[in-house]
């Protein structure tokens, strides 16, 4: 290996290194005079055009629904869960199958050439680069298991529960729009999509904040369950980035410097003649960066599990094992705390928030224990003294962890609500006592939660009416009528509750 090869480690001190711990330093030192600067054109520009066209197709899809009143159901990959659970063949399930089939042959091209979330991440990285901030990929041993864990929570655990309960697997069938969720053509385009607020929050966190704090494409690396599935199929794909026949790799590391997925491309090429890491998204930046044109995408031996033999060969990690375990514990708590919080937070956003909770934990530990600390471009701590920006960052981290703890308590009460509600609604034996307990749980969420979601007001009102306490249904119905102003049913029930309580003239 040439001695002038750029050192890719996070912790090794280079000549002139300040010794400061930098949570957002570039993972690769600037190219030396012998290392060509990787070009940023070529495939990158073509991929940007393709991703813009993808968003244009999405816009046309929505416009078709707005104009015609119905269209093809959203291509949401999470609809695969409903196919596995209910047997309904959804558009999302079909789309997922086509992507997996393509990755079994061509590898993970969809992730970098067709995924709108990756487009947001790359856009965020480009904006940060324009303001001279180059986020460093945070290297963690346990975070790499995140996508597999989320994949198991989405697709595997529900099937384990099914088998444990003795329920049979459903038969595959099609559904019409009149039968409810699952039809291929729908007039309810938003049927499986979060509201605009949650959508914007998801994009800002999964496509923006996580990039700044954890590095380019960190959502793909540490959260995305679909990426975990595609990485498994990539391992048996008979194609990948490879060394051209008759070409020689000079180990200049220009390809590694160009890789946005934090892969040591030049080392894998030198050792295997191809990129074997399943994290390779086939964006072809490394191909464009090679100064000798020695790299190309082509047919090659499937990688199998060869990447395991080299995954940690020269890898330096940013956290100690103690920090990793602390981040893991808090991250798992955060995931369950945020999942379906207030009936709103989708699974992928909850997973991203859980990862950020783990990162906040490590930030606090580093702020306390390390002499110098930097979060590019901010110097948080120098010579043992915490700067003002360090106090701000630490305060935000503590506040976020406090929010995580509060959300955990809210979710415990919500879990109890979901346990009691079927018993109360069905009127089973003991439903009266369960109803009073249910109202206590719902009242707690209303009093101490950061927000009272519609389902809380709805169940409070319905439980009060079932218990023949219409006076206690009035207040939640009034709140619900503001949240659902177009619901005539809520208005009618509110009038009946006021009349039954002797408040017919109120409002």
- Cβ distance 276 to 310 under 8 Å? yes
SS3 content of the chain, % helix, strand, coil (to 5): 60, 5, 35
pTM exceeds cut of 0.95: no
Q: Give the mean model confidence (pLDDT) for residues 6-22.
A: 33
In a 13 Å sphere around the CA of 422, the CA atoms on its Cβ side amount to 4
Mean pLDDT value of segment 229-251: 91
Q: What is the arithmetic mean of pLDDT over 70-87?
A: 89
What is the model's pLDDT at position 134?
82
Residue 2 has pLDDT above 70, yes or no: no
3-state secondary structure of 241: strand
Within 13 Å, how many C-alpha atoms sit on residue 40's CB side? 6
Give the per-residue pLDDT at 165: 87
**Mean pLDDT confidence for 257-268:** 89
Compute the average pLDDT of residues 397-419: 97
**What's the pLDDT score for residue 5?**
31
| pLDDT value for 190 | 84
List the structure tokens of 3. 């001695």
**Tokens (6 digits) for 357:** 């909770």
Helix (H) or strand (E) segment spanning residue 498: helix 488-500
Distances in Å between the alpha carbon of 254 and those of 34, 174, 295, 403? 10, 50, 11, 43
> If you average pLDDT over each of 70-79, 311-320, 357-366, 493-502, which comes out highest?
357-366
Name the helix (H) or strand (E) containing 295: strand 295-299
Q: CB neighbours (10 Å) of residue 125?
A: 21
Given a cut of 60, whether residue 398 has pLDDT beyond it is yes
Which sign does the torsion angle of CA 54, 57, 59, 65 carry?
A: negative
Q: Tell me the pLDDT band of 219, cut-offs 50, 70 and 90.
A: very high
pLDDT on residue 449: 95
DSSP notation for 353-382: HHHHHHHHHHHHHHHHH-S-EEETTEEEEE
| Distance from C-alpha of 281 to C-alpha of 301, rounded to nearest angstrom | 17
What is residue 135's predicted lDDT score, i.e. its pLDDT? 80
Nearest to 314 by CA among 267, 370, 256: 267
Contact 10, 137 (CB under 8 A): no
- Per-residue buried b or exposed e for 458-467, using 16+ beta carbons within 10 Å of the residue's own CB: bbbbbbbbbb
Pairing of strands 71-72, 185-186: antiparallel
Confidence of residue 310 (pLDDT cuts 50, 70, 90): low
| Nearest residue to 65 via CA among 153, 189, 219 | 189
Q: pLDDT digit string (tens) for 155-165?
A: 999 889 989 98
- Taking the C-alpha atoms of residue 386 and residue 216, their distance in angstroms, rounded to an integer, is 27
Residue 13 to residue 354: CA distance in whole angstroms: 32
Choose between 44 and 414: higher pLDDT: 414
Could you tell me what percent of the chain has a pLDDT over 90?
A: 60
Encode pLDDT of 152-211 as tens digits: 989 999 889 989 988 888 889 888 887 777 889 999 888 888 888 999 999 999 988 999
**Rounded Cα distance, 394 and 364, in Å:** 6
pLDDT at 500: 86
Asked if residue 32 has pLDDT above 70, the reply is no
Per-residue pLDDT at 137 exceeds 70 = yes
Q: Write out pLDDT tens, residues 294-303.
A: 999 999 999 8
Per-residue pLDDT tens for 431-467? 889 999 999 999 999 999 999 999 999 999 999 999 9
Average pLDDT (85-92) is 90
Distance CA(359)–CA(374), nearest Å, equals 14
Output the average pLDDT for the chain: 86
Q: Give the lowest-confidence range in 34-38, 423-427, 471-475.
A: 34-38
In whole angstroms, how far apart are CA 78 and each of 83, 225, 293?
9, 10, 40
Question: Which residue has 């078709």 as its token pair?
Answer: 64
| Contacts of 426 by beta carbon, 8 Å cutoff, 6+ apart | none
DSSP code string of 62-126: HHHHHHHS-EEPP--TTHHHHHHHH-B--HHHHHHHHHHHHHHHH-SHHHHHT-HHHHHHHHHHH
Q: Where is pLDDT greater, at 22 or 412? A: 412
Of 72, 101, 84, 79, nearest to 172 (Cα)? 84
Does residue 347 contact residue 76 with C-beta atoms inside 8 Å? Answer: no
Residue 309 is predicted with a pLDDT of 63
């Amino acid at each position: 290996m040439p001695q002038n090869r750029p050192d890719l480690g996070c912790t090794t001190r280079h000549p002139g290194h300040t010794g400061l711990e930098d949570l957002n330093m570039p993972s690769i030192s600037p190219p030396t005079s012998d290392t060509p600067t990787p070009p940023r054109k070529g495939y990158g520009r073509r991929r940007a055009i393709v991703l813009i066209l993808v968003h244009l197709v999405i816009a046309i899809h929505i416009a078709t629904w707005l104009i015609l009143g119905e269209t093809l159901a959203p291509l949401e990959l999470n609809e695969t869960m409903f196919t596995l659970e209910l047997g309904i063949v959804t558009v999302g399930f079909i789309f997922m199958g086509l992507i997996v089939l393509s990755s079994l042959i061509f590898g993970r091209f969809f992730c970098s050439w067709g995924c709108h979330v990756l487009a947001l991440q790359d856009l965020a990285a480009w904006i940060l680069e324009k303001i001279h901030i180059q986020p460093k990929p945070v290297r963690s041993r346990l975070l790499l298991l995140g996508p597999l864990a989320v994949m198991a929570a989405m697709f595997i655990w529900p099937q384990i529960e099914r088998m444990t309960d003795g329920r049979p697997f459903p038969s595959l069938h099609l559904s019409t729009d009149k039968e409810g969720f699952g039809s291929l053509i729908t007039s309810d385009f938003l049927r499986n999509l979060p509201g605009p607020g949650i959508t914007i929050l998801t994009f800002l966190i999964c496509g923006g904040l996580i990039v700044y704090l954890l590095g380019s494409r960190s959502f793909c690396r540490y959260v995305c369950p679909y990426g975990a599935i595609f990485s498994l199929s990539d391992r048996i794909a008979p194609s990948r980035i490879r060394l051209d026949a008759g070409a020689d790799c000079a180990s200049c590391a220009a390809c590694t410097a160009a890789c946005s997925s934090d892969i040591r491309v030049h080392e894998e090429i030198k050792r295997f003649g191809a990129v074997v890491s399943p994290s390779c998204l086939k964006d072809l930046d490394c191909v464009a960066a090679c100064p000798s044109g020695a790299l190309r995408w082509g047919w090659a031996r499937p990688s199998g599990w060869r990447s395991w033999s080299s995954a940690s060969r020269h890898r330096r990690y940013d956290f100690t094992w103690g920090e990793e375990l602390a981040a893991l514990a808090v991250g798992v708590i955060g995931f369950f705390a945020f999942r379906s919080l207030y009936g709103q937070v989708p699974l992928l956003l909850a997973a991203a928030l859980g990862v950020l909770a783990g990162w906040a934990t490590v930030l606090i530990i580093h702020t306390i224990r390390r002499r110098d600390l930097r979060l590019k471009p901010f110097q948080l701590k120098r010579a043992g003294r915490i700067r003002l920006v360090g106090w701000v960052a630490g305060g935000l981290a503590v506040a976020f962890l406090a929010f995580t703890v509060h959300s955990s308590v809210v979710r415990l009460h919500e879990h109890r609500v979901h346990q009691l509600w079927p018993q109360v609604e069905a009127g089973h034996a003991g439903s009266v006592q369960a109803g009073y307990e249910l109202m206590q749980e719902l009242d707690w969420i209303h009093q101490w939660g950061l927000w009272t979601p519609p389902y809380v007001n709805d169940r409070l009102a319905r439980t009060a009416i079932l218990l023949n306490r219409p006076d206690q249904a009035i207040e939640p119905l009034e709140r619900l009528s503001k949240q659902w102003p177009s619901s005539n049913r809520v208005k009618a029930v509110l009038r009946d509750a006021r009349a039954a309580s002797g408040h017919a003239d109120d409002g």
